[in-house]
Structure 1
Amino acid sequence: MIDVILPELPERELALRSEETPQPSGPRLAGRVVLGGPVALPVTADLVGPDPELLDFLRTEADNAVYHLVHLSVTCARDAPDPALHSVNLDIGLTAEPVRRGTAVFQPVAWSMTPRQLTAEVTSSAPAAHLGPRLGFQDGGDTAFGERVCLEARRELRSDPGWEIRHTSAVRIGGTYRLAMVVRAPRGAVSRAAVAVGATVREGHTLHRFREELEEPLRLAALQ
C-alpha cells in the first residue's frame, strides 16, 4: 500500500441553474457550493515504485491501459440561509477518443473511488488517500447496520461515476468533502472527464433542483 498526498485544488464558486427554469434569467443557487479541481495526475512507475505488487500490476496492464488519479472537492456552506441543502451530486462522464483514426478503444471507467461512504459530519480534509492492491483505495471500516449514510460513491467501474452527499436527521450538509478516483483508460487514446454538480433544496414538501456543468472537460494526459 502507498499513501497518495491529496493536492491543493483550484476552487470556483458555483451558481447552479434551476432545472425547472433553465433559461439564463431563471433562478440560481449561489453562495452554497464551491468546487475544487478537478485535477488529474498519471499513475506512473515512480508513483507506485515503493510497492512491488502495485508496480507489477501496472506493468501487466501497460500494453492496454493507463491509469490516472483524479482529485476533486466539494465545499458546502454550513451557515447558508434557508432553504438548506438537501442533497449535492457530483457526476463525472468519462470518454476516450483514439489518437489514430479508426482505432477501437474501450471507454474509461472509475477503477476505484474514495470515500465510498461517510456516516459522520466532515471535520477536516484528509491529507492522504491510501492505495492498496490493484490500485484500489483503502477506506477503512464498513458502515454499521442502521447508520445513515451522508456521502456515498456511485457507479464505480462505470464511465458515469459520481458521489452523492445527503442531508440526514443526524448530519447536515456542510464543510469540505475531498474526493478521489483512479480512472482506468485505454492506452493510445485521449481521455476526458466531464464534471457536473447538482443540488436540491427543500421548501416544505417540494424539492427544487439545480445543476451546473463545467464548460471544458478535464483532459487525462495520454501516456506513451
Structure 2
Amino acid sequence: MHADHTRPVLAVFDFDGTLTDRHTFWRYMRFIVGTRPFWLRIIPLLPKMLSVILGITPLMQARLAFIACYLGGLSVEQEREHARYFISEQLPLWLRPEALRRLKWHQSMGHVTALVSNSPENYLIPWGQAVGFDYVCGTRLATARNKLTGGISGANCVDGEKVRRLKGCVGNLEDFYIYAYGDSSGDEALLSVANSPFYRNWY
C-alpha cells in the first residue's frame, strides 16, 4: 500500500514482540533484582498468575502486583542506572533486525516516527531517543520522594491508551498517513487508526 504523499507520513511502532523478539519488562525486573531473587519472589504471585490464566484477574491488574513486588522502594537513581545497563547489555540481543531496517527506512524517507509501548518509559525513552525516534510513549512508573512507589502514573499504555498518547504527541491523526506496526491484541486500537497496518510483519 502506497502512502498518500499529500500528507506527512507517521510510522508508529510497538516495542515488545515488534521491535524485539520477546517481552522485555519482566526481564527488566529480573535484571534489576537478580535471577534467583526474582524467582523466589514470584512464588507468592503464583495464585495471581493462575487467576490471569483462568480469566479471573485482568492481566494489567496482575502486572501491577509484579511492579509493586520487584520495583517498589527502588530509588530513582538506582533504577536509572539499571536502565542504562539494560539498554546497553540486554536489549541489543533481542532486537529484530528486519524491524530495525524498517524503522531506518522510514527515517531515511523523512517520516515522523513514534514508539508507543506498554513497557516503561524508564528504558523506552533513552533507547528510543538513541535510535532516533521522534516521539516515545510508554507506561510511566510512579515515583514519590525520589523512590519508585511500585505503582504506575496514569494508565497502562495499551489498547486505546496507545492512541490517546499518540494524539498527545502529534495532534490530529487524520493529518498524517499512518503506518503502524504491532504484534498483539494490545495494538488493535493503534492498528485500527493506521492507513497501512502491519500485524506481525514488517513488509
TM-score over 0.5 (shorter chain): no
Higher helix proportion (structure 1 or 2) = 2
